[in-house]
A and B are shown apart, each in its own frame.
Chain A
Amino acid sequence: MIPLLIYVGIFVVAFFAVRAVAGGIARTGFSSLKTVTFGDESAVTPDRRASVISILTLFFLWATFTGSALIPSFLHMPGPPLGLHTFEHTVQNAEGETDTATVTFLLFETEQDAEGNDLPDPEPPAVEPGEGFALNDSLIIEAYGSELARLQDNDELTRDDGTTIVAVNGQPISPGDRLDFSFGTISMSTRGSLNILPDQGWQMEPIWLPAPESVAVRFWDILWNGFRNFSLAEHLGYSLFRVVVGFVLGALVGIPLGYAMGLSNWFRGWFDPIVEFMRPVPPLALIPLVIIWAGIGETGKIVLLFLAALWIMAIAARAGVSGVNISKVHAAYSLGASKWQIMRHVIMPNSLPEIFTGARVAMGVCWGTVVAAELVAAEQGAGMMIMVASRFQNTDIVILGIILIGIIGFGIDILMRWAERILVPWKGRS
């Protein structure tokens, strides 16, 4: 809730700030002459300043809620109050006499060495035992945790002697009560022990969301040392390889199938029910069946991606053939072209824009499907990386994997669009 409010706040502030500071920069070109821009889709171009601020905002939120070292600490959300804290507790013995002793505790965060192994917990702070029958206590509490403290165990008179804790920092307390202090909350259990619950702050625990720099460090680590017997390039390469092979096979079968369906009644009739049935079945739903049939190896994944791409490409090719303006076909016939020549010089090029649109969709679907399939079962791949990492609660690897998957998916789409511009420049312009 708080991150969302901050996000909306930054959105609004950035909008007005950019307008106030740079609003004077006039747009040039034809669009600047338009008086009607609301409702004119072509007049809406992304404001790149907004894009930059948007990305920075996301990183800022990420950094501030994880106490990242990338931003100065005054920008951090309050974290758990690490360090030494003290409070006093008053103990009453069976005779009704009271004694007060100090509790010192160290709130610490587990640190890791260069290999990512947890360092041992720190020692409790050294304290003087103090006077009276209640002695001073010293303990350590891990951040985001709590401690049911056995404060009387070290005292001269223990619980067995009939002592009870009656006050904390001078405030009376009885079983079931809660008291708030600067470092957090202390409550008393029904059996009379104090439960220390230090504030957790607004930051995310690293196990939920690691700081950006620890993801970057992990990236560097995996980049050089690999993950689970395979290098990062191999993991991503395997995923890409599966996508490319599955897509190419799907296109090799799907495009001719779509052409046949667009050109022949019999093919159309034969394959229509199959294609129309398979089209709405999400490829993910096929994973279990494919695993049963082809196992979890490469074959299974490629079969799955083949199926994911096949129907999309077949439908795109069919639409490309059906979409040909009959005048073009008539014109080609009147110019003396044979059936085969019309196929080669009219129908095929005419269907290319549709096929490219289909290919872009298919690549996107394949990329999503391969990750999902690797989540289920794989020995290497981007999906396997995040699956295994999540099992060991390596949230940084999970996030790293998600970022890499997103970047690669985006890269694939950029590449397809670029190819489209080069190969079918007439798309949408007739």
Chain B
Amino acid sequence: MTGLAIRNVSMRFDLPGGGAVQALENVSLDIKQGEILSVLGPSGCGKTTLLNIVAGFLAPTEGVIELNGHEVHGPDAERGMVFQKGALFEWMSVRENVSFGPRMKGQRAAQYTQNVDHLLDVVGLQDFKEKAIYELSGGMQQRVALARCLANDPDVILMDEPLGALDALTREKMQSLVLKLWKETGKTIILITHSVEEALLLGERLIVMAPRPGRIHKEYNLPFADEGVDADLREVKKNPKFAEVREEILGMIWDMEEEIMGRTEAAQ
């Protein structure tokens, strides 16, 4: 079978002083090949933990991750990750960063150059190939990170707040870019975000997580990602259905945050 399966995953962190944090409890999720899933939830509900488990950086205390029928143990090139920031290699040029994956596989320049150049064109960095990373703006750096991940041709792309550090305008352009790349490449994408709008725009499917213990609270199937592939994202947002779902989710997260705050206040 193809696709990504998260089966009964639980994660407990034992704290040094005794005690433990139940970051995830019995999370199960099936993600089809080529699906784009966005994940929302209040801070501390275990989103990053879940993504790290899928990427293979963490082993869950219970449960398994399966990709295309085989179990996941540890990181692998089949699951690419786009970090929020700080994961590019400053000692390499833009082109060297993007070609990192192929080079590590032992490919020769002749084998990857065309693809790397193509990807740099797609993300609009054709004029910055030889530049150093620290000479680029934050948005450009995220585009390099995206291109680097794609150059490795993973089955699944994991993104943890990839656009969180960008300004509104750059962010919107990047959102269109993500949709375009998703449609063109047909990759499975899991995207964590704090922006409800972004989750609605980019998620074919959207899950809202709840904290303590971290679990899936609600799931939506949404049409906006498909619409956004061809249309202007601002037009998509004008859809009355969009505003309706947005309000519903905002209210839901708001309530959860209230509850967390209340609980911590009560504890004090």
Binding site for B on A (CB under 8 A): 325, 327-328, 330-338, 341, 345-346, 349-350, 352, 424-426, 429-430
Contact = CB atoms under 8 A, between A and B. Distances in A.
A331 B134 contact: no
A330 B87 contact: yes
Contacts, number: 80
Contact of A349 (B89, B133, B158): B89
Contacts of A336: 76-77, 101, 104-105, 152
Contacts of B56: 333-334
A325 B134 contact: no
B77 A334 contact: yes
Main secondary structure of the interface of A (DSSP, over half): helix
Interface of B: 55-57, 74-77, 79-81, 83, 85-91, 100-101, 104-105, 132-134, 148-149, 152, 154, 158
A331 B92 CA distance: 14
B188 to A, nearest CB: 14
Contacts of A350: 89, 91
Contacts of A334: 55-56, 75-77, 79-81, 149, 152, 154, 158
Nearest to A428: B134
A349 B100 CA distance: 14
B90 A430 contact: yes
Main secondary structure of the interface of B (DSSP, over half): loop
A325 B75 CA distance: 17
A424 B92 CA distance: 11
A327 B104 contact: no
B87 A430 contact: no
A242 to B, nearest CB: 32
A429 B134 contact: yes
Contacts of A346: 89
B81 A425 contact: no
B86 to A, nearest CB: 5
B91 A341 contact: no
B128 to A, nearest CB: 16
A334 B76 CA distance: 5
Given A334-B79, A338-B104, A429-B134, 15 more contacts: A327-B85, A328-B89, A330-B55, A330-B57, A331-B87, A331-B88, A331-B148, A333-B75, A334-B76, A334-B77, A334-B80, A335-B77, A335-B100, A335-B148, A429-B90
